């Protein structure tokens, strides 16, 4: 094995960076000089090579530092990106939506104070808040971020339309139930024509949505999935984990039902936090076995 191959093997587990490449080249130069010096003292090639390696010492600490520095640079670039994707006109629209929302709250409060009727308050507030919320929905969906690409404005308008119809149904429901006093059945009847179609179309839009994640997010997700898959390298261990987890939650549900019947919901809900704690302990135990 030559010096370069040995050094490459030594640092095979580290991310290749410019700083690490310079470090490896410096080690190679020093080892070349040391081997030549030892050969002049009478050692053969192999003996000089082995002695130079033994004198090299532990260089992994510096390599770790260089690799950590690179990871910090990547983290700073990808996760803590300071680049502003917000254009001036978009900032103005965000501020305008906020102003409309605040104006609606103030106007609703004034309408209530002058009229003394809750219907004046709710009617004014719901109208202005819907306009502001729809504006925020459109701006949020079409906003590029460090992690996601912006949605096309045409598709965003579909989401705005769906949200608008659904919110209008909510407004009609509230006004029918609270303001007109027609009762819950009538209020639900007014909500159905707006709520159900908008929910159906909203589900369709969500299911047909394309992944707008940026490449670094996709890569991060892929590596996270690979780490998660490596947690259970043994299929039998994975099967045992599933069986134990299933048994835990069956027991938690059974305890919840029994306690609900015997002592009531006041204490029975504690079965689920206990189940979560048990699940975490099981995961920890199996992860240790898999390492």
What pLDDT score was predicted for residue 179? 63
Closest by Cα among 17, 10, 21 to 67: 17
User: What does the domain layout of the chain look like in residue ranges?
Assistant: 3-78, 88-215, 231-290
Local structure of residue 146 (DSSP, 8 states) = S
SS3 213: strand
Q: Residue 66: what pLDDT? A: 52
Report pLDDT for 204.
Answer: 92
Other Cβ atoms within 10 Å of 230 Cβ, number: 10
| Coil/strand/helix, residue 148 | strand
Q: Can you give the pTM of this predicted structure?
A: 0.53
Residue 20 has a pLDDT of: 66
Predicted confidence at residue 201, as pLDDT, reads 93
Each of the 291 residues of the chain gets a pLDDT tens digit; together they read: 577 777 777 666 656 666 667 767 777 787 787 788 888 888 888 888 877 777 665 555 555 555 555 545 544 544 444 355 678 888 899 999 999 999 999 998 888 888 877 777 877 888 888 899 999 999 999 988 777 888 999 999 999 999 999 988 888 888 787 766 667 777 888 888 888 899 999 999 998 988 888 776 777 777 777 666 655 556 667 778 888 888 888 888 888 888 887 877 777 888 888 888 988 888 777 765 444
Give residue for tokens 């240790």: 288
Q: Which two tokens stand for residue 287?
A: 């992860």
**Do 191 and 199 touch, CB atoms closer than 8 A?**
no
pLDDT at 233 (0 to 100): 55
- Neighbour tally for 220: CB within 10 Å: 15
Contact 213, 147 (CB under 8 A): yes
Token readout for 232 is 């259970």
User: Coil, strand or helix: which one is 167?
Assistant: helix
Give SS3 for 11.
Answer: coil
Q: What is the pLDDT of residue 57?
A: 59
């Amino acid at each position: 094995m030559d010096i370069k191959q040995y050094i490459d093997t030594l640092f095979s587990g580290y991310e290749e960076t410019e700083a690490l490449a310079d470090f490896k080249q410096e080690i190679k130069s020093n080892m070349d000089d040391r081997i030549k010096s030892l050969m002049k003292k009478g050692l053969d090639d192999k003996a000089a090579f082995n002695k130079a390696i033994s004198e090299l010492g532990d260089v992994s600490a510096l390599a770790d530092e260089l690799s950590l520095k690179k990871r910090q640079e990547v983290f700073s670039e990808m996760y803590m990106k300071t680049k502003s994707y917000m254009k001036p006109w978009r900032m103005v629209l965000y501020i305008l939506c906020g102003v409309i929302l605040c104006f609606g709250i103030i106007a609703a409060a004034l309408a209530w104070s002058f009229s003394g009727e809750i219907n004046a308050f709710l009617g004014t507030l719901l109208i202005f808040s819907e306009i502001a919320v729809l504006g925020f929905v459109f701006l949020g969906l079409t906003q590029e971020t460090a992690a996601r690409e912006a949605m096309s404005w045409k598709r965003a308008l579909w989401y705005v339309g769906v949200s608008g119809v659904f919110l209008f149904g909510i407004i009609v429901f509230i006004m029918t139930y609270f303001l007109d006093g027609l009762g819950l059945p009538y209020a639900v009847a007014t909500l159905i024509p707006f709520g159900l179609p908008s929910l159906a179309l909203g589900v369709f839009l969500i299911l047909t949505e394309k992944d707008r994640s940026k490449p670094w997010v996709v890569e991060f997700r892929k590596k996270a999935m690979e780490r998660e898959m490596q947690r259970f390298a043994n299929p039998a261990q994975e099967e045992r984990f599933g069986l134990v987890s299933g048994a835990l939650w069956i027991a938690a549900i059974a305890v919840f039902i029994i306690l609900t019947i015997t002592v009531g919901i006041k204490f029975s809900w504690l079965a689920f936090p206990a189940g979560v704690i048990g699940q975490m302990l099981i995961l920890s135990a199996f992860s240790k076995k898999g390492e």
